[in-house]
Structure 1
Amino acid sequence: MLSFLIKRILSAIPTLLIAYTLVFFIAHATPGSPWDSGGNRPIEPSIKAVLDAKYNLDKPLYVQYTSYLWNALQGDFGPSYRDRTQSVNDIVARFLPVSLKLGAAAMLLAVLLGLPLGALAALTRHPAVDGLIRMISTLGISMPTYVVTSILIVSLGVGLGLVPTFGWKGLFTASSLVPIFSLALAPLAAVIRCFRTSMLEVMNLDFVRTARAKGMKPLPIIIHHMGRNALIPAITVAGSYAAYVLVGSFFVESIAGIPGFGRYFVLAIAARDYPVIIGTTLIYAVIVVVINLLVDLSYFLLDPRARLEQGR
């Protein structure tokens, strides 16, 4: 297992380097300058030259590329061009925890509801129950998050007045209900469908029939035999959604007015704030790599065959 972990960590290095290279050159290839005001009065060339010199934008691209990469390896993502009173590290420390809390709550809701609903859809003998759960999962996958967020704000906030229509007051307040449910709906639907399919595949396998023949009670069979084996594909699906949800949705945070990482990333793109764009993308890439690594490690805990193959 240790050798597998080392290999995966080493293989993540070129992935992060490619992500950095792409976002660096795409950001700098975007027309315009970080100092463009967007109004009718453009910035004076002399002032622009001073700002370029201060932030090393007057140097060749390869110099900027290597300089930023070296500083990023030391944990310094540089200053923000949009808000020059704080660095990218300050922005990350301020906004990332909000998105992580919001995303973690959404994924927890998706998993805790998705697994029992998926098992219920597979095990129930009533077609109406299975059909209702399948309809909910289909709607969750097909509806974009910004549509769900808008519908919930209009219905629950404007129509009924149960939740705020804009703003963020903390995770355990009414202001978090709409964004949490909006972010949780898509992974909830995916977990339901995947776990239902997996349960249907394993419920008639030999080891399940053997457990029934031995006289085991239905609940232990469902949890220890069927559920554990059906959980592996569901974890893979949940992991693919977790990277997107844990750092927050750009649309959900922008529509609901949440001061999260995703919303600030959108503002940084509009302002051509190169250090924030690059630093945010690198953090996204690291989160994706870490989540994929955790998903792979979970296979060792759930599937004995993975441990046997690794031990050979």
Structure 2
Amino acid sequence: MFRTLFSRFLQGLIVLFVLFTITFFLIKALPYGPFQSDKAIPGHIREKIEAYYGLNEPVYVQYGRTLGNLLKGDAGASMRLEGLPVTDIITQAFPNSIQLGVVAMAVAVLLGIPLGVFAAWKKNTVFDYGAMMIAMIGICIPSFVIGPLLAEKFGRDLEWFPVTGWSRSSPLSWILPAITLGLASAAYLSRLTRAGMLETLSQDFVRTARAKGVGELAILTKHCLRGGLIPAVAYIGPAFAAIISGSVVIESIFAVPGLGLHFIKAIETGDTPVILALVLLYGALIIVANFVTDVLGVWLNPRLRSSR
């Protein structure tokens, strides 16, 4: 088990290195720079600014210096926000993004897994077809469509929830963005849970339990639920990381002061330190989420322990 953990750790480092390298050179290939302005900057001032940030050096020198600084834990300063340290940007905005992601993932799990279990229990009935139809609708309609519709209906018309004004201490401000962000994952979770439960329900030990007179509820909860959730659990880890990294549109719709807005502005202005830091942060989240998912998969399926 220790060797597997060490192997995954090394794989994660290699992935982050490749991700950093590709992102760095893609940024340098952009046709614009971080100091473009509607008002032309005098040439001698632009040269001083570029020299201050080392942009006048060869690309390979910039690459080595940036990589070395990151290895030392120095993510640099934003070129767009007048030298504000990137770590300060992440410290201020990331808690909002992670909180939104956790609440959205909770919405996805609480909606998707029970719906999938219920659909498998009522296989080939109107309840099954209805649940899967709802799931398909949730998959097909993008979040940037669902978000404005929920904001218009439940925010402006009914005035049940605030549309803007995110606050970490006000649960009402979490509801609309969390539901919008979690619906797609809930739809996928319901389909994966249904498939896993149906496969488990078709096993011989389930027929044996029924022959012994075990009730359907006990079969579902005690005999099938743990094995049936394996596909869903395998999806939860990457889905959580994707929710956090893919919440840019939702943060814009509901004015959530998360990392999404900084990421968009950094790309628009070519703010290299911010782009690199956020890409690596999102990459690390996905790696950690996949690792946690693997651990949970081994816990749910003991047969995997001997093969790892």
How does the TM-score come out when normalised to structure 1?
0.94
CA distance in 2, matches of 1:135, 1:171: 36
- Residue 146 of structure 1: how far off its partner (Å): 0.8
What do residues 216-269 of structure 1 show as CA deviations (whole Å, max 9, x unaligned)?
A: 343332123211111111112222311111345111011111100122111111
**After the TM superposition, which of the residue ranges 204-213 and 113-122 deviates more from structure 2?**
204-213
Query: For structure 2, which runs of at least 5 residues remain unmatched after alignment?
Result: none
Contact persistence 2:197–2:228 (CA under 8 A): yes
Other-structure match for 1:200: 198
- 8 Å CA contact 1:79–1:87 kept in 2: the answer is yes
> CA-to-partner distance for each residue in 1:279-307, whole Å, 9 max, x for gaps?
10000110011111111111220111111
The letter for the 2-side match of 1:29 is A
Structure 1 residue 117 displacement after superposition:
1.0
**Deviation of the 1:171 alpha carbon:** 5.7
- Whole-Å Cα distance in 1 between the matches of residues 188 and 123 of structure 2? 22
How much does 1:213 deviate? 2.9
2:207 to 209, 213, 223: 209
Q: Deviations over 1:131-159 (max 9, x none)?
A: 22112111111111111111111111222
CA distance in 1, matches of 2:15, 2:66: 17
Q: CA deviation at 1:130?
A: 1.7
8 Å contact kept, 1:100–1:247: no
> Which one of the candidate residues 216, 223, 226 is aligned to 1:225?
223
Which residue matches 2:99? 101
Residue number in structure 2 paired with 1:138: 136
8 Å Cα contact 2:144-2:250 kept in structure 1: yes
**Could you say what the CA RMSD is over the residues aligned between the two structures, in angstroms?**
1.5
In structure 2, the residue matched to 1:253 is 251
User: Does the 8 Å CA contact 2:103/2:174 hold for their aligned counterparts?
Assistant: no
Q: Does 1:15 align with 2:15?
A: yes
Q: Which amino acid aligns with 2:7?
A: K
Contact 1:122 1:130 in 2 (8 A): yes
Q: Which amino acid aligns with 2:9?
A: I
Counterpart of 2:98, as a letter, is L
Partner AA of 2:21 in structure 1:
T
- Sequence identity percentage: 38
Give the residue type in structure 1 aligned to 2:276: I
Residue ranges of structure 1 left out of the alignment (5+ in a row):
none
- Give the superposition deviation at 1:126: 7.7
Q: Which residue of 1 aligns with 2:161?
A: 163
Shift of 1:211: 2.4
8 Å Cα contact 2:234-2:297 kept in structure 1:
no
Asked if the contact 2:107/2:183 (under 8 Å) is kept, the reply is: no
1:283 to 281, 287, 290: 281
Read off the aligned partner of 2:277 and give its amino acid letter.
G
Question: Could you tell me how far apart the structure 2 residues matched to 1:126 and 1:70 are?
Answer: 59
- The DSSP-based 3-state class of the residue aligned with 1:290 is helix
Q: Would you say the 8 A contact 1:248–1:260 is kept in 2? A: no
Give the Cα separation in 1 of the matches to 2:237 and 2:208: 32
* Correspondent of 1:110 among 108, 111, 129: 108
Render the CA deviation track for 1:162-191: whole Å, top value 9, x for unaligned. Answer: 222323122643221111001100110000
- Read off the aligned partner of 2:148 and give its amino acid letter: S
Take 1:299 and 1:77, find their aligned partners in 2: how far apart are those partners?
Answer: 34
Alignment of 1:33 onto 2:37: no
Which residue number corresponds to residue 271 of structure 1? 269
User: 1:82, 1:271 within 8 Å by CA — same for their partners in 2?
Assistant: yes
Query: Map of 1:65-104 to 2, 5 A cutoff?
Result: 65-104=63-102
Are residue 148 (structure 1) and residue 146 (structure 2) matched? yes
Secondary structure in 2 aligned to 1:32? coil
Matched with 1:2 is: 2
Structure 2 letter corresponding to 1:180:
A
Matched residue, 2:42? 44
Matched length: 308
The aligned amino acid for 2:36 is D
CA distance in 2, matches of 1:230, 1:262: 35
Instruction: Output one character per residue of 1:89-119: Cα deviation in whole Å (capped at 9) or x when no partner.
Output: 1111111111001101111121122111111
**8 Å Cα contact 2:108/2:183 also seen in 1:** yes
| Normalised TM-score (structure 2) | 0.95
